[in-house]
């Protein structure tokens, strides 16, 4: 299982804003994260729409985190960009098991793996004071 490219870049952008701890313009964000400016603007728009960052227009415009970095979790960014996180497509309300005999014997373990992953991602924030090296 891999994160899609937009989610990977969204994580980079949120992290960049957390480290900078100040307003940044789209061009600088693109340069700092290695994301093309066009693609970073698309992702920035989604992050603004999701309420994770704020945008400001004008000559002193740019982007900042909408909340303190320590309050934004990795899980939140992943789910805002990708939707509900699940290990297997048969999990969750929108999923369905493809087994013609009903829920397969592995469904419970898939749920457990997804829940463990969500717990780990929820613990990880963008707080720069506690960066592990």
Per-residue pLDDT in tens (0 to 9) along the chain, 133 residues: 567 899 999 999 999 999 999 999 999 999 999 999 999 999 999 999 999 999 999 888 999 999 999 999 999 999 999 888 777 766 655 456 666 666 677 777 888 888 899 999 999 999 987 655 4
Structural domains of the chain, count: 1
**CA proximity to 52, closest of 63, 60, 62:** 63
- 53 burial via Cβ count (<10 Å: 0-12, 13-18, 19+): buried
- 90 burial via Cβ count (<10 Å: 0-12, 13-18, 19+): middle
Q: Which residues are CB-neighbours of 5 under 8 A, at least 6 positions away?
A: none
Per-residue confidence (pLDDT) for residue 36, from 0 to 100: 95
Dihedral over alpha carbons 27, 32, 34, 35 (to 10 degrees): -40
Per-residue confidence (pLDDT) for residue 98, from 0 to 100: 66
Cα–Cα dist 27/40, whole Å: 9
Q: What is the CATH number of the domain that holds 22?
A: 1.10.10.10
Residue span of the structural domain in which 9 resides: 5-130
């Amino acid at each position: 299982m891999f994160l899609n490219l937009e989610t990977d870049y969204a994580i980079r952008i949120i992290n960049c804003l957390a480290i900078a701890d100040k307003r940044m313009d789209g061009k600088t964000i693109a340069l700092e994260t290695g994301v093309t400016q066009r693609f970073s603007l698309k992702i920035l728009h989604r992050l603004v729409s999701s309420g994770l960052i704020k945008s400001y227009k004008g000559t002193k415009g740019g982007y900042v985190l909408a909340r303190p970095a320590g309050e934004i979790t990795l899980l939140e960014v992943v789910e805002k960009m990708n939707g509900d996180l699940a290990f297997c497509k048969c999990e969750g309300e929108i999923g369905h098991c493809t087994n013609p005999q009903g829920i397969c014997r592995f469904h419970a373990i898939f749920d457990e793996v997804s829940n463990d992953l969500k717990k780990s991602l929820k613990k990880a924030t963008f707080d720069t004071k506690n960066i592990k090296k």
